[in-house]
Amino acid sequence: MTAQRCLVTGGSGNLGRAICLELARTGAKVALTFHEDAAGAEATRSALGGNAIAIQGSVTDAAHADAAVAAVVQAWGGLDVLINNAAITQVLPFALVEEADWDRVMAVNVKGAYLMARAALRPMIRQKAGRILNVGAFGQGRVTPAPVHYAASKGALAGLTDALAREVARHGILVNLVDPGILEGGLGRAAPASRLADYVEQHPAGRFGSFDELARSIVWLCSPANTFITGAQIPIDGGI
């Protein structure tokens, strides 16, 4: 089987690194993007070894999105998998969210996914095959409500996933979204301590998830083993 050619956004962080390493364990060729954390990106690239690629830039920049995809295509002849993992959040009451805060969260979490997917679809449509996986909202607002602007951005991402999956299915491209539970060390840990305690108390397993657990599910959804799941919004949260 030919190794998958993969691009992961936000590859300098904990979840991005876990996804990249899990892809590499399957034999995939892996490229990652990062914005500011050069040390984190280098840690991921070094852990991957071989011919892994790290590309700096903002997912909100169309030129960066196009360049990142072009780098993968030039290096490996095509692109099989895009994982839109890059995201930001703020824990703020809605009344204190400034317009700039709203715009920044929407730009990274929604526009970034749009720009990366648009760029990735060009080689995928030519290949008549591909996988796009979007990472949705931590906790899905259940038990631990997400900040409003973050929740709104991830709601938009769910809509993008559903509509795009329907549009590109005829090209052999699958598009899915996963909604993680709160992960140990993840974005959701910025929530107030009392809410986190409630989450753990009500969780069937009594714990947060791990980056590796989520990464394994994401990589399977993007693998050749998944041939017919598309347009899905899948909770990976331990059943809470």
Instruction: Could you please state the CATH topology (level 3) that the domain comprising 5-235 is classified under.
Output: Rossmann fold (3.40.50)
Give the span between the Cα atoms of 180 and 229, in whole angstroms: 18
What 3-state DSSP class applies to 5? strand
Residue 114 annotated to the active site: no
* pLDDT per residue of the chain (240 residues) written in tens, 0 to 9: 589 999 999 999 999 999 999 999 999 999 999 999 999 999 999 999 989 999 999 999 999 999 999 999 999 999 999 999 999 988 899 999 999 999 999 999 999 999 999 999 999 999 999 999 999 987 555 556 788 999 999 999 999 999 999 999 999 999 999 999 888 887 776 777 888 888 899 899 999 999 999 999 999 999 999 999 999 999 999 998
Sorted by where each begins, the domain ranges of the chain are 5-235
Q: How far is CA 89 from CA 131, 182, 225, in A?
A: 25, 13, 33
Dig out the tokens for 136 from the structure: 């949705």
Task: Report the candidate in 157, 203, 159, 163 with the shortest Cα–Cα distance to residue 184.
Answer: 203
Annotated catalytic residue within 34, 114, 138, 150: 150
Angle (CA) 190-34-224 rounded to 5° is 95
- Tokens 């900040």 belong to which residue? 147
